[in-house]
Amino acid sequence: MSFLLGVVIFIVALLLSIMLHEAGHFLTAKKFGMKVTQFFVGFGQTLWSRRKGETEYGIKALPVGGFVKIVGMTGMDEIDPADEPRSFRRQSGWQRIIVLAAGSFMHFVLALVLLFLVAAAVGLAAPSTTTTIGTIDSCVPASVSSACKSSNPASPSAKAGMKPGDTIVALDGTRVSNWTQMGKVIRRQPVGTPVAVTVVRHGKQVVLHPTLATTIMSGKRVPFLGVSPQVVFRRQGPVGALSYAGSQFGQTVTRSAGVVASLPAALPDLFSKNRASTPAGQVSSVVGAGDVTGQVLAAKIGWQPKVSLVLLIVASVNIFVGLFNLLPLLPLDGGHLAVVIYERIRAWLARMRGRPDPGLVDMRRLIPVSVGVFALLVGVGLLLIMADIVNPVHIIQ
C-alpha cells in the first residue's frame, strides 16, 4: 500500500509540475497580450474541457506532458488576420524569449521551493551527538567504504544482539557519553576477545559481549564493532534553508548534466543484471522515478527521511526537466529559443549593414530536424520506460 501511495504521490507531483510549466507560458503570453486559445494537460483524446473567454482549458487522456496553444507561433501558422497583431510571431524578441523560457523557469522555482521546505520544515539529517545506535551493520566489510557481500562475516554488533535504539553507556567498564569517546575506547580494545558493552534498552541496562573484528580505514586495520549513530533532523532558519536550497540546486544541475552526458554509455547496460552498478543505474524515466518514490514510502524508515527523500526526488526531476527543455533542439522550448535568438542576431547584423530585417526563420526547412529529434527522444524515452519496468533499479533493499 505504501509503495502504491508513493507512485501516486509522484504522478500527482508530476502533473502539478506540468501544469506549472504550461502556466508559465500561459501567464507570460497573456501578460504580453498574446492570444492563447488552449491550455491542456496531457495529449490525445480530450477527457474534459471548458472554455473561459478566448481560452479552452482541459485534460487529455495521456498524462505525459501538456501544451499551451498561442496563435501564430511560427510563420507557417495560418491565423485570422484579425489575430495577427496578437500573434506570438509579431511580438518583440525579448517578449518571445520570456514566454519560451517561462516553462523551465517555473520548474526551477518549484524545485527551489521544495528544497527550501526540506531544510526549513523537515530538517537536514545529521549524526546524533549521543551514543544512541541508529543502524546495525549486517557484516564486517573489507573496508569502511565497502558494501556488504554474502561472503562477509556477520558484524560483532549483529552477532551480540545489539539493536537500533540501544544507547551505549559503557565499553569495557569505561563510561561514554558521545560518539567520539566511544570511538576512542573501541580503538583501544583487543580484537578477537569479547568486550563488555553496557546498553540502555527500554529504560533497563543490558550487558552484551561482542567480539570485535577488524576492517580497513584510511589504509590501516582498525577494530570494528558495526554500529552507526542515530540520525537526527534539525530544521534550518530562513538563511540556512536558502543556502541549502541554492547549494542543492547547483549540485543537481551538475548531476543532471552528468546524466545527459552519460546517457549514450548507459544505454547498452539498461537491461543488464548489474544495471545499478553501471552508468545505466543513474538514468531513469518517469516510471523509474515513480518506482523509486514508491520504494521510499515503503521503506522502514521514519517520516522525516521519507518526506525529505520524496521532496528531493520531485525537486531533482523538475530541475532535470527544466534544464533538458532548454536544450537548443526542436521541438523543445530551447529549440524555439535558439530560433528566436538567431532571428534577432540576423536582424541586428542586417541593420548594421543597412539592410531590411530578414524576418522570421522559414520553419519548413527545420521540420525534418524537428521530426528527427522528436523521434529520437520518443525512442530513448520508451527504451528507458521499458528498462524501468522489466529491470528496475532498487535503491532501498
The number of helices, as runs of H, and strands, as runs of E, in the chain is 9, 12
Q: In b/e form, how buried is each residue of 70-99, taking b as 16+ CB within 10 angstroms?
A: bbbbbeeeebeeeeeebbbbebeeebbbbb
Tally the residues of the chain. 397
| Residue 1 pLDDT grade (very low, low, confident, very high; cuts 50, 70, 90) | low
**84 counts as catalytic:** no
Question: Per-residue DSSP letters for 105-149?
Answer: HHHHHHHHHHHHHIIIII-EEEE-SS-BEEEE-SB--SBTTSPP-
Q: Is pLDDT of 397 > 60?
A: no
What number is the average pLDDT over the span 355-366?
Answer: 90
146-201 residue pLDDT tens:
878 888 899 999 999 999 999 999 998 999 999 889 989 998 888 888 999 999 99
| Annotated domain spans of the chain | 1-35+71-126+233-397, 133-229
Q: Which amino acid is at 103?
A: G
Residue 206, all three cell numbers: 543490558
Mean pLDDT of 78-85: 92
**CATH no., domain 133-229:** 2.30.42.10
Average pLDDT, the chain: 90
Please give the Cα distance from 84 to 70 (Å, whole number): 11
Instruction: List the catalytic residue out of 22, 56, 78, 84.
Output: 22
Instruction: Supply 166's cell numbers.
Output: 540501544
Alpha helices in the chain (DSSP H): 2-31, 93-117, 156-160, 179-188, 238-266, 286-298, 303-325, 333-352, 367-390
DSSP designation for 71: T
Give percent above pLDDT 70 in the chain. 99
- pLDDT tens for residues 287-298? 888 888 888 888
Query: In the chain, pLDDT over 90 holds for what percent of residues?
Result: 57
Give the pLDDT band (50/70/90) at residue 270.
confident
